[in-house]
Amino acid sequence: MSRKIDSRKHKILIIAGGTVNNLSVITNINKIIKILKKLHNNVILVSYCGKNENIELNFDDVYSVPRFSSNLFDFLLAQFTILRYILKLKNQYDTILFAFGQDLLILPMIFSKIFGKKIIIRTDGRPSIILKKYFKNSSRIKIYLFEIIEKFNYSISDTVLTECEFMISENNLNKYNNINIGSLFIDEKIFNKFKPFNNREIDIGYIGRFHNEKGIAELMLAISDLILKYPDLKILLGGGGELFLPIKKEIEKKSFSDRIFIKEWITQDQLPNFLNNIKLLILPSYKEGLPNIILESMGCGTAVLATPVGGIPGVILDGKTGYIMDNNTPECIVENVKRALTSPELEEIAENGRRFVLDRFSFDNVVQNWGRILEE
């Protein structure tokens, strides 16, 4: 039985991270707006994304903040800039949501508490843990400072949301009593399975940014090996970024270029059709949160092979809802692509992943969960 959502309404101010023209962040901001508008009367956004970037709010309800660098001076300047909006808008909201990398905004959170506002932090991963795991040269002083700020901010907030249950232990949040799951959703009406698995023409695909942190260079080395071993293999590469043109030119020089379909900037409208034509999507990233492309692929009945970073192990259970590879070395990618494509259970695993996503990340279920959190 579905749980009735409390009819009492809140006014929400969202403080969201991201950068200008970051389509992934804009998509996620719009998802939170859609959830909150389903539950609440009024949403206001303060973000690093610009006013004209397809934010699904009235123009007057979007406030842009300049993007600052990561040095200490700009770190403080960004907080004072956001604090100015908190002061300016303080009579227009009663709850403030810090999302997409805003865990360290200590000054805005202190003043929000002083003004009696409810504070929600939606963390994509503790900044101190991200530094330790993915930025090995980070100074100990910086990590220690981040840890102090995180502990304070998580303690004074009314609730801390993570993307999935796995992220609670991954980010050492177990000791806090105010932890909840604040998943985003996939639109199951758009990202659904409409092409039978065995009729799909693309064996393996990659869709995402062409950046080093995504493991695209390692994937390209693996593809060179895979094509030699499997002469009938068909591959799709879709996305954009700084490495797109160099990779495209390199592929065009190869004798097997006719077996690799490469496309820049697959739009959201095109994405379901592409995903429904892929058997196995590969995401060999060095670091992630919980990528939309994984949930969208699973929703379309596409099997996923990924590295165990961020919240990915919370949705991909190896051999059950997808495939996990230990690392993103070319040898490991090749070995696991072979493991997946030769598995007699590949279609069944893809279907398990689809059911898992529909159960956990459908719009109605996510809205019910957020309604419960805000009611409490």
Going 220 to 303 to 191 to 287, the CA torsion angle's sign is negative
Per-residue pLDDT, 3 = 40
Same CATH fold, 197-360 and 11-182?
A: yes
Instruction: List the pLDDT tens digit at each of the 376 positions of the chain.
Output: 344 444 346 799 999 987 666 778 889 999 999 999 999 768 999 998 877 778 999 989 999 888 777 778 888 888 999 999 999 999 999 999 999 999 999 999 999 999 999 999 999 999 999 999 888 888 999 999 999 999 999 999 999 999 999 999 999 999 888 899 999 999 999 999 999 999 999 999 999 999 999 999 999 999 999 998 998 999 999 998 999 999 999 999 888 888 999 999 898 899 999 999 999 999 999 999 899 999 999 999 999 999 999 999 999 999 999 999 999 999 999 999 999 999 999 999 999 999 999 999 999 999 999 999 998 8
Residue 280's contacts (CB-CB under 8 Å, 6 or more residues apart) are: 203, 204, 205, 302, 303, 304, 305, 323, 337, 340, 341, 346
Going 78 to 285 to 312 to 23, the CA torsion angle's sign is positive
| DSSP 8-state code for residue 137 | T
Per-residue pLDDT, 9 = 63
pTM higher than the cut 0.85: yes
Per-residue pLDDT, 13 = 95
Per-residue pLDDT, 21 = 66
Q: Which fold has domain 11-182?
A: Rossmann fold (3.40.50)
For domain 197-360, which CATH number applies: 3.40.50.1470, 3.40.50.2000, 3.40.50.800, 3.40.50.880? Answer: 3.40.50.2000
Per-residue pLDDT, 333 = 98
Residue 35's contacts (CB-CB under 8 Å, 6 or more residues apart) are: 184, 185, 366, 367, 370
Closest CA to 340 of 295, 285, 296, 279: 279
> Domain ranges in the chain?
11-182, 197-360
| DSSP 8-state code for residue 165 | T
